Amino acid sequence: MNSDIRNLLVVTILAGLVLLSGCRTFRGEDFPSHVARFYVETSEAYPERFRVPVTLPYSEATIQIDPNIQIAEFDIENVEVFEAELGPAVAFRLSSDAARDFRMLTYNNQGRRLVLLVNELPVGAMMIRRGIEDGVISMYLEYPDEDLDELVEYINKTSAEARRRL
């Protein structure tokens, strides 16, 4: 299969996933699910099948990510908005097991970016500059500031429901 057809297939599949996941609710719940998952930037040297390009909405930065989920919705214990030096930011507190895995992930991937997708849409990225020991991911999101509280509320509800279903 030539690379143009393969790229078109990947984009079509991702668009379908976005359309199918955007309005989804958990059965019995009255809120839209907001599935937050973290991925790691991958090298251009990796084969194409191990790279998925995502583009952030405001900066329009395109990042090649490894399609394997590194932190899933059920790994997130709590999310909060806080005021940081450059404006509102979001902190994701991970479960103890996920925090241990995340510590190794950050030590092994320094110099790469950690990318947040919510319902398969990229909304934030941060450079991994050091190993993160405390299990808290703090980052600025490319998301309207006035909508951050609602986003965080829905991510918390979705993550709690995902943990309950484990």
Confidence at residue 21, expressed as pLDDT on a 0 to 100 scale: 45
Average pLDDT for 69-85:
97
Q: Is the pLDDT of residue 41 over 50?
A: yes
Q: Decide yes or no: CATH 1.10.760.10 for domain 3-165.
A: no
Domain parsing of the chain, residue ranges = 3-165
Assigned token pair, 52: 């998925």
Where are the alpha helices (H) located in 22-147, listed in sequence order? 96-108
Confidence at residue 47, expressed as pLDDT on a 0 to 100 scale: 86
**What is the C-alpha separation between 110 and 116, in angstroms, rounded?**
17
Number of residues in the chain? 166
The pLDDT tens digits for 88-112 are 999 999 999 999 999 999 999 999 9
Q: Is the pLDDT of residue 163 over 80?
A: yes
Task: Give this prediction's pTM.
Answer: 0.81
Write out the H or E segment, with its range, that includes residue 6.
helix 3-21
Confidence at residue 43, expressed as pLDDT on a 0 to 100 scale: 85
For tokens 């790469």, name the residue. 112
Confidence at residue 10, expressed as pLDDT on a 0 to 100 scale: 47
As a whole-number percent, the residues of the chain with pLDDT over 70 amount to: 81
Q: Which residues contact 113 (CB under 8 A, 6 or more apart)?
A: 40, 41, 63, 125, 126, 127, 128
